[in-house]
Amino acid sequence: MTLIADILEEPMTAKANIPDVLAARVSRATVIRRDEPLAKHTTLRVGGPADVYVEPANEDDLASVVKFCGENEIKFFILGRGSNLLVRDGGFRGVVICLSQPAFSKIEIVGERLHCGAGAKLKNVSVEAKRNNLSGVEFLEGIPGSVGGALRMNAGAMGGATFDAVESVRVMDFDGNISEMSPKEMAVDYRSCAALKNHIALGAVFRCRILPRAEIEQCMKAFSEKRWGSQPAAPSAGCIFKNPGAIPAGRLVDELGLKGARVGGAVVSAEHGNFIVNDGKATARDVLELISILKAKTKAERGIELHTEVEIIGEEN
């Protein structure tokens, strides 16, 4: 077993050589880049660079990358399409793995089931289902994420949640072992899935039912109109806060008169109080400061503790 520490002594030099050592363990089709800006991989468009960015070509290469990180005590993070994610301005010290290559993005129809890779776009899942007269995943159409990200946070919209439609999930543990899990085994909760804190989602089977395409199209159209009538088009991470039990977070922010609140280039959306948008000049620090202001105001004025739904990773500058 080759350890980074066996090769080099200086930490910065070791960091610089991680891509070279990784490249020797994976196929040539795997993409490996140094100091990759993560702002361009997130829907909020903020955040510093990853020390190393990897797009594995297949499951074997993914297993090699994950095992390499474990052997060398290197942090890694699985990146979907970058929604529901805030990367701090200092970036991520470690390896960011993105399952965006074709091997992870397949969508196959088997009877009334959709077999989807973790890298498949949620919009593509809903469109492919509609094309085959399959209903049950219409609510995924407007969520700007991937199957893997939706599983990890049990993403939801329009009254539906990802695991409502999931029959099974194919996962990899951090030693590279692959297995199938049922939702009951995965400790699924509101906007979370405990099993995917120590496993990587490789794909899922969605159960659907056959309906006339016109009915499916009508449902998706209604969802789309509702979404774009109430959510901003500007860059955002989606909903910033989980909804507290007493009142939706967006309504709470609105009632407190906080729409339009700003820190630098980060602004509370005029369309929806649970969205913070980037006016084009925001930094992660701006967004984090604005989150702190909203949490403090709601606590002081309503006694309600808001908890972030968006995942926050990385280092400060």
Q: Which residue has the tokens 């000049």?
A: 281
pLDDT, position 8:
34
Q: pLDDT tens across 117-173, in order? A: 999 999 999 999 999 999 999 989 888 889 999 999 998 877 888 999 999 999 999
Cα distances from 170 to residues 126, 182, 301, in angstroms, run 20, 9, 45
**How would you classify the pairing of strands 275-278 and 236-239?**
antiparallel
pLDDT, position 77:
97
User: What average pLDDT does the segment 172-178 reach?
Assistant: 97
pLDDT, position 6:
36
Is residue 100 within 8 Å of residue 118, measured between CB atoms? no
Measure the CA angle with vertex 160, ends 156 and 166; round to 5°.
85
pLDDT, position 36:
98
Q: pLDDT tens across 24-68, in order? A: 999 999 999 999 999 999 999 999 999 999 999 999 999 999 999
One DSSP character per residue, 246-299 reads SS-HHHHHHHTT-TT-EETTEEE-SS-TTEEEE-SS--HHHHHHHHHHHHHHHH
